[in-house]
Amino acid sequence: MKQYDAIIIGFGKGGKLLATELANRNWKVAVIERSPEMYGGTCINAGCIPTKTMITESEFAERVYQNDYNKQSKLYALALKRKDKLVTFLREKNVENLTRNPNITLYDGTASFICPDTVKVIPSPEKEEAAFELSAKEIFINTGSTPILPAIDGLKNNRYVYTSETLLHADILPHHLLIIGSGAIGLEFATMYAGFGSKVTILEAGKRFLPKADREIAEYILESLKRKNIEVRLNARIQSLHDTTDGITAAYTDASDGTPYFLEGDALLVATGRKPMIENLNLEKTGIQVNAQGAIVVDEQLRTSVPHIWALGDVKGGEMYDYLSIDDFRIIRDTLFGKKERSTEARYPVPYAIFTDPPMAHIGLTEEEAMKRGYPIKVSRLPASAIPRARTLQNMDGMLKAIVNTDTEKIIGCSLFCTDAPELINLVAFAMKTGQKSSALRNFIFTHPSMSEGLNGLFKAF
């Protein structure tokens, strides 16, 4: 059995950064990854990078060949090839950056615990190698997450059913794409495929569209989707899926009145969320605590209930954002080698973005949440069309909204639905995290024309 200073299970964002950090400190590190197709983690191979690449491609296709399915489908095929080329490049760079360090050993295989300090590795079938054991004084679980597949009759092994990890490998553009779920994944794929020319119908079980978003912003997004030929059906409880000669039929009922419906499409995307990937880890051999959602329970420094075993990234549940996995690495680094000041609680509020077209981004409280908590607030709204840069970009759809505490004059929430929103929200987040008053953004000198100068106008009311 080989002995290491650290074992990292999973080659994701936080894990690869941690491996390099530990190796540079002369730790002997073993990294175990179940599939060479996932080197670098979900973001590079099946998440942020391929989806955002395809969203950019779809926006171009919509501008150039709007309402011309044949031409848009050709661009779709070319976009898939460019996406694959980029993913391959980034995956290879990740492997190169990791394996060139002499203190890091990369193993292809599935890891499972034998006891709290030892894991068994079953090599990938193509390796034709026997299983072996590794031991370490510190072990880090970074196995990520996997799509949730709801228990729907006819879903399993259906050739027309896809997840976010498989749909972008389908080389035929659907004429009519059905999507179960209207969260971030469902909405991003909806606008992506609508941009390429597909008709898209979203089936959402809930009665409220984007329930955690600001109500005004949610309504703006819903209207924007309609203009893109994307239909959203709320209260849709899927009963079963059935193959047809050239596609799939979803049978569902309207939860508000029980009315049955049948909807035909030629592909169906399941976008009902993701769950921590803990299968096959044999956590019961360690005493590690897992919550009701299957996430590994950690403290504010990311230690599990077994002090020398840590968890970072999606496997610990909560918000599954790539940038939080990076911060997880920073927390562990600070705990092991720094001042022990960083923690998961200290990083809030955290912004998030949904890369629709235009995109939506948010940080802090919504107006509804601020009112429920009894804050004295003032609200400002600015239509995206009021920003000159939005007009030069020919994307004037959307609205910007900010919530300020009238007593402290500090920003407590901001929702942006406009082009470049994922960039703009970082400026608002920086102001909030550094304790700036809203006047800091109201009076800041931004370049012109830029979307960021819209923050001058948004915070002018305060």
Distances (CA, A) of 153 to 23, 24, 257: 48, 51, 22
Give the total residue count for the chain: 462
Q: 460 is written with which tokens?
A: 């002018």
- How far apart are the C-alpha atoms of 351 and 332, rounded to whole Å? 21
Region label for 408, one of left (φ > 0), alpha (ψ between -120 and 50) or beta (otherwise): alpha
Backbone angles phi, psi at 25, to 5 degrees: -100, 15
Location of structure tokens 């006819």: 154
DSSP labels, 344-381: TGGG-S--EEE--SS-EEEEE--HHHHHHTT--EEEEE
**Side chain identity at 402, as an amino acid letter?**
A
- How far apart are the C-alpha atoms of 271 and 58, rounded to whole Å? 19
Is residue 175 part of the annotated active site? The answer reads no
Burial of residue 127 (number of CB atoms within 10 Å: 0-12, 13-18, 19+) = exposed
**Side chain identity at 413, as an amino acid letter?**
G
Helix, strand or coil for residue 229?
coil
Listed residue (233, 182, 228, 210) closest to 415, CA to CA: 210
DSSP labels, 108-133: EEEEEEEETTEEEEEE-GGG----EE
Burial of residue 420 (number of CB atoms within 10 Å: 0-12, 13-18, 19+) = buried
Cα torsion angle, 311, 303, 331, 430, sign: positive
Q: 94 is written with which tokens?
A: 């990740």
**Side chain identity at 382, as an amino acid letter?**
L
The sheet with strand 236-243 has its strands ordered as 236-243, 248-254, 260-265
Backbone angles phi, psi at 161, to 5 degrees: -100, 130
Helix, strand or coil for residue 419?
coil
Listed residue (339, 338, 337, 342) closest to 25, CA to CA: 337
Q: Which residues are catalytic?
A: 448
